[in-house]
Amino acid sequence: QLDGVTVNAPGTGGSFLLPNVDWLEDFKVIALGAGAEYGNFQGGLVNMVTKSGNNTMQGAMRVFAESRALNASNVNAFENGSEQASRQEVNAEVRGPLIRDRLYFFLSGQESFAAQRFVDFRNATSARIAWLPTTVDRHEQKYYAKLTWQASPRDIVNASLGLDNLSRERVGLNGFDDINATLRGRSPAAFYQANWQRTLGAKSFLEVKFSGYGGADDQL
């Protein structure tokens, strides 16, 4: 569940969405015997709550880079193997007030690029590992925006929108098959949610939610 909304993949189980960890304020794994507010699951439940804005303006940026020039290789010259050639990732977020004590925002974005290289064992020698001249490339984008409105001391309204897009080039590359036998993949997805919460008393509250998502997994 993400903010109380089920994000199970239809028909296959698991999740259709892998959120950026920078979106999350709280993360819990709940086993059997969960409280009455949870339902429609068997086994374990992963419950994720996203960040919200507050009266303090905050921001963060995280950069990650990996290169084959910095890593040792763990493959041998005559195997049909592969390893990560490079990876770069940038994450940034900002949150704070639009109207103090009333309206808050949270924005987060991620861009990551990765390349997987494969052994060219047909052209390798005992003294040198050869690599195929092309790589499997992966580009992932994750963006999330959330507004929180403290409408009254008893009423809170949240609205959020997220985008999760994955692009892949030359999927299925290996040392045997022609490069024309590989695939190009595109997996765009968007999800949205709005909810209203009213506190009725010390032991009860009312919550109304509206949510949905759409996505595709195209391979050429």
The per-residue pLDDT for range 106-151, each reduced to its tens digit, is 999 999 999 999 999 888 888 888 899 999 999 999 999 999 999 9
CA distance 180 to 210: 44
Give me the chain's average pLDDT, please. 89
Length of the chain in terms of residues written: 220
Query: What is the rounded CA–CA span in Å between residue 182 and residue 173?
Result: 6
Q: Between 1 and 146, whose confidence is greater?
A: 146
Per-residue model confidence (pLDDT) at position 167: 96
> In the prediction, which pLDDT does 69 show?
85
Residue 41 has pLDDT above 70, yes or no: no
Q: Is the pTM of this model over 0.85?
A: yes
Backbone angles phi, psi at 200, to 5 degrees: -95, -30
- C-alpha distances (whole Å) from 185 to each of 1, 34, 47, 90 are 27, 38, 29, 22
pLDDT bracket for residue 39 (50, 70, 90) = low
Query: What per-residue string of b and e applies to 96-116 under the rule 16 or more CB within 10 Å gives b?
Result: bbeeeeeebebbbbbebebbb
What are 97's strand-pairing partners? 104
**CA–CA separation, 146 vs 213, rounded Å?**
16
Confidence of residue 105 (pLDDT cuts 50, 70, 90): very high
More confident residue, 10 or 140: 140
- pLDDT above 80 (res 4): no
Residue 53 near residue 100, CB atoms below 8 Å: no
Select from 158, 161, 162 the least CA-distant residue to 149: 158
Rounded to an integer, the average pLDDT of 76-103 is 93
Least confident of 3-7, 153-157, 213-217: 3-7
Check whether 160 has a pLDDT greater than 80.
Answer: yes
Residue 28, pLDDT > 70, answer yes
How far, in Å, are 90, 132, 134, 141 from residue 112 at the CA level?
A: 6, 23, 19, 7
H/E element, 144 = strand 136-152
Please report where in the chains the tokens 């909304």 appear, as a residue: 5
